[in-house]
């Protein structure tokens, strides 16, 4: 029996902690009036990470949050991944969503003040109504969220470098930045992805998280999800990465080429979201599942070293952490897949769960090794990456001066 569009929407996984998306993005006269007011307010400049978080608050990606976290919620999220205040008390949340300013700036603000939120380029992107000013133990956040205080970890480095005082409060959001125009047709809000899934009649939808071009192992993971779900959304991070990661526009071209040549069009959607990468490994895997629930995905593919960096996390820590949280913490569940590779004996893609052959038959090349090979004009095995994808990546590296290519080669980055 066929169902109508509204019924199809209702059959998708509900947003996190809410019956409906909490969209804080203003439109129309309300937006115009708030923009005029914001121009008269004192302002703070957000970091790239904070800007991405604000956009996610605006589009409902961080449903049910209303703004940047207060100290009780920051503490609860760090210590036991639980919000501690307001109507969301007791709700699962794995990573703090905070806004920081210098002590000097903070002294000029009082509870109840309205503060304009600017991007680094000066654009006014929203207003925060101040509810609390507080300082934090940055080392405590790093140890609990990242599992380390080592400033060689890029996520730790950002936290340790952030300003001294956090500002908490509800936000109104004005802008989605450059994402709707620079990534037109790729960038989607949770409202848009839910509508797209409903149009396709999808109910069980898997998200594939990536910050890299997709090679054969990634393709294999996505196709496993297609086999057991109605469809898969290849969901790429479009915000800031570490120095050396391949730019988003190159990644999007490579992914589009892979989809066009090797996927059925009615089983896959290419999309992107505006966050910066935190590289928080297991905790970030949980955040990925949480906001994919808001995007309408019932499953998240979690492979080797999901959201990891260097040697800070075990290969499957991001899978194991889902077993350590309450069963009802998230509606979106992990699809756990072992190490995948091309097996020369099987003459096919396989995993350690399915392949009986010894390791010398396995072609395992990480994203880091791929970048290194391309930056040094080395051959890449045909069974590691599709030729159409390699052509796009080679063209990108060919445009980089050889003396600059080492800056593009990431040390210790994960394959996702």
For residue 414, whether the previous peptide bond is cis, meaning omega lies within 30 degrees of 0, is: no
* Token pair of 78 as six digits: 């760090």
Identify the burial level of 116 via C-beta atoms within 10 angstroms of its C-beta, where 0-12 means exposed, 13-18 middle and 19 or more buried. Answer: buried
| Residue whose token pair is 């290849």 | 234
Show which residues are catalytic: 211-212
What single DSSP character describes residue 413?
B
Residue written as tokens 């936000």?
A: 171
Tell me the C-alpha distance between 101 and 47, whole Å: 10
CA distance 25 to 56: 10
| DSSP track, 227-274 | HHSSEEEEEEE-S---TTSPPHHHHHHHHHHHHHHHS-GGGEEEEEE-
- Can you say how many angstroms the Cα of residue 40 is from the centroid of all Cα atoms in its chain? 33
- pLDDT given at position 240: 83
Neighbours of 388 (CB within 10 A): 15
pLDDT of residue 56: 98
Phi and psi, residue 276, nearest 5°: -85, 155
CATH of domain 28-175: 3.10.400.10
What's the confidence (pLDDT) of residue 398? Answer: 86
Cα atoms in the Cβ-side hemisphere of radius 13 Å centred on 202: 28
Write down the residue that tokens 């880091």 correspond to: 368
User: Helices (H) and strands (E) in the chain — how many of each?
Assistant: 16, 14
pLDDT for position 245: 75
Enumerate the domain spans of the chain: 28-175, 180-408
CATH superfamily, region 180-408:
HUPs (3.40.50.620)
Torsion region of 107: left, alpha or beta (phi above 0 gives left; psi -120 to 50 gives alpha): alpha
Helix (H, G, I), strand (E, B) or coil at 320: helix
Q: What is the pTM (predicted TM-score) of this model?
A: 0.94
pLDDT along the chain (416 residues), means of 10: 82 98 98 98 98 98 98 98 97 98 98 98 98 98 98 97 98 98 96 97 97 91 97 95 81 96 97 96 98 98 93 97 98 96 95 95 80 84 89 89 51 36
Count the residues in the chain. Answer: 416
| Burial of 38 (C-beta count, 10 Å sphere; 0-12/13-18/19+) | buried
Q: What is the pLDDT of residue 116?
A: 98
Q: The tokens of 406 are what?
A: 């080492």
Q: In terms of Cα–Cα distance, which of 369, 356, 307, 37 is closest to 145?
A: 307
Contact 62/291 with Cβ under 8 angstroms?
A: yes
As to burial, measured by CB atoms within 10 angstroms (0-12 exposed, 13-18 middle, 19+ buried), residue 386 is buried
26, two tokens: 């203003």
**DSSP 3-state of 173:** strand
């Amino acid at each position: 029996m066929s169902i109508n569009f509204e019924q199809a929407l209702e059959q998708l996984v509900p947003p996190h902690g809410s019956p409906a998306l909490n969209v804080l993005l203003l439109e129309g006269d309300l937006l115009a009036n708030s923009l005029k007011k914001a121009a008269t307010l004192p302002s703070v400049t957000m970091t790239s990470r904070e800007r991405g978080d604000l956009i996610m608050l605006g589009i409902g990606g961080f449903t049910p949050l209303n703004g940047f976290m207060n100290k009780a919620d920051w503490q609860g999220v760090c210590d036991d991944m639980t919000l501690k205040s307001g109507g969301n008390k007791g709700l699962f949340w794995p990573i703090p969503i905070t806004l920081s300013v210098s002590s000097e700036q903070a002294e000029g603000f009082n509870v109840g003040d309205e503060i304009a939120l600017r991007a680094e380029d000066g654009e006014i992107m929203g207003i925060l109504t101040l509810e609390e000013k507080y300082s934090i133990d940055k080392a405590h956040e790093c140890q609990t969220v990242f599992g380390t205080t080592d400033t060689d970890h890029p996520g730790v480095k950002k936290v340790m470098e952030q300003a001294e005082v956090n500002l908490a409060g509800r936000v109104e959001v004005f802008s989605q930045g450059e994402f709707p125009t620079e990534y037109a047709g790729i960038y989607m809000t949770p409202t848009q992805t839910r509508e797209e899934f409903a149009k396709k009649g999808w109910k069980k939808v898997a998200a594939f998280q990536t910050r890299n071009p997709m090679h054969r192992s990634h393709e294999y993971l996505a196709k496993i999800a297609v086999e057991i779900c109605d469809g898969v959304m290849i969901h790429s991070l479009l915000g800031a990465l570490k120095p050396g990661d391949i730019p988003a526009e190159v990644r999007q071209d490579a992914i589009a080429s892979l989809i066009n040549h090797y996927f059925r069009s009615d089983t896959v959607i290419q999309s992107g979201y505006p966050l910066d990468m935190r590289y928080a490994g297991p905790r970030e895997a949980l955040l990925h599942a949480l906001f994919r629930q808001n995007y309408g995905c019932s499953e998240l593919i979690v492979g080797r070293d999901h959201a990891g960096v260097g040697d800070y996390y075990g290969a499957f820590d991001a899978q194991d952490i889902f077993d350590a949280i309450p069963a009802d913490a998230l509606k979106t569940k992990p699809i756990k897949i072992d190490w995948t590779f091309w097996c020369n004996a099987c003459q096919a893609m396989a995993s350690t769960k399915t392949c009986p052959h010894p390791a010398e038959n396995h072609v395992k090349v990480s994203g880091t090794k791929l970048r290194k090979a391309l930056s040094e004009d080395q051959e890449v095995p045909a069974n590691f990456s599709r030729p159409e994808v390699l052509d796009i990546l080679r063209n990108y590296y060919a445009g980089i001066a050889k003396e600059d290519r080492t800056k593009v080669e990431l040390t210790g980055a994960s394959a996702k």
